[in-house]
Amino acid sequence: MIEVEGIYYSYPSKVEALRGVSLNIKDGEFVAIMGQNGAGKSTLVKHFNGLLKPSVGTVTVDGIKTVKSSVATLARNVGFVFQNPDHQLFSETVEEEIGFALKNFGFDVKVIEERITWSLELLSLSQYRKTSPFLLSGGERKRVALASVLACDPKMLVLDEPTIGQDYEQKEKLRQFIMQLQSQGKTVIAVTHDVEFVAECNPRVVLMKEGKIVADGQGHQILTDPAMLEAASIVLPQIAQVFTKLSALGLSKDIINIDEAKRVLLKAMEKHKR
């Protein structure tokens, strides 16, 4: 459980990135944090593993105030995958990269071996086991960073822009994978701009603007409100765009799912024929 109470945060450059944010995330929730560049999304999630400490207010993770604990302690519970994988990768082979944190946590060699194999398979990286991460494509490096965090089996997972550079199939795998993690009771928090990805997952959406939370609700409620999204520099998912343009027909408004869209439109067309 993550409890954020009235936090403010200013960078040393005096830029006030968070201006009074309160938020509770329960165990097993999947939350997408959305908003324009500079809205404070990355700054907020960096508070969850203690990388940043609030100037004012408190962040409590599993009952522990982050102010009082180190990143090293929090990192066992909260795995963090950065936006740019190059800020995270440094080893000579993919295998070493994934084993690094596990070694630091003092896991048994056999366990480390198993976890490496498991996470490589999960993210379709097995053929690159002995390759340098820096010879891989941008999308593949991103998956190596994710694999190295997953291998540690954290209780909560923070993903900063997980779909950047990923093709459709990888995104679909990521979606199924997040669902699987959730069914195991793990918390997944994704900072993302990818409206189509969020529309397919329909998680809880927290919308940020200028260091504050401006909306909080289920995906199909938030992603179908054109005025609110535009203010946050987000475009509607394509299905919602279609229904916004069809508003004169008086069809249901909060549709982001393609199967539901098909059902509603078929019904409308049948009715029209009669």
Partner 1 sequence: MALIETKGLTYTYPGTSKPSIHDVSIKIEKGEFVLITGPSGCGKTTLCRCFNGLVPHFYQGEIKGEITVAGINTLDQHTYEIAKHVGLVFQNPENQLFALSIEKDVAFGLENMGTAREEMRKKVDWALHQTGIYDIRERSPHEISGGQQQRVAIASVLAMEPEIIVLDEPTSFLDPLSAEKIFDVIYKLNKEQGITVVLVEHRLDLTAKYTNHLIVMDQGTVRLEGDPRDILSNEETRRIGVGIPKATLLYQMLKKENCNLGNKTPLGSEELADQILEELKGD
**Residues engaged in binding partner 1 (CB under 8 A):** 13, 35-38, 83-84, 86, 137-140, 161, 164-171, 193-196, 199, 230, 233-235, 237-239, 241-242, 245-246, 248-249, 258, 261-262, 265-266, 268-269, 272
Report CA 21 to chain centroid distance, whole Å: 18
Beta carbon of residue 99, minimum distance to partner 1 (angstroms, whole number): 24
Q: Write the CB contacts of 263 (distance below 8 Å, at least 6 apart in sequence).
A: none
Beta carbon of residue 80, minimum distance to partner 1 (angstroms, whole number): 16
Beta carbon of residue 79, minimum distance to partner 1 (angstroms, whole number): 21
Q: Are 18 and 44 in contact (CB under 8 A)?
A: yes
Residue 22 φ/ψ region, left for φ over 0, alpha for ψ in the -120 to 50 degree band, beta for the rest: beta
Nearer to partner 1, 101 or 223 (CB): 223
**What's 157's DSSP letter?**
E
Beta carbon of residue 221, minimum distance to partner 1 (angstroms, whole number): 18
Nearer to partner 1, 71 or 164 (CB): 164
Nearer to partner 1, 70 or 227 (CB): 227
Nearer to partner 1, 107 or 128 (CB): 128
CA-CA distance, 22 to 161, in Å (whole number)?
22
Query: Distances in Å between the alpha carbon of 111 and those of 99, 156, 161?
Result: 10, 20, 29
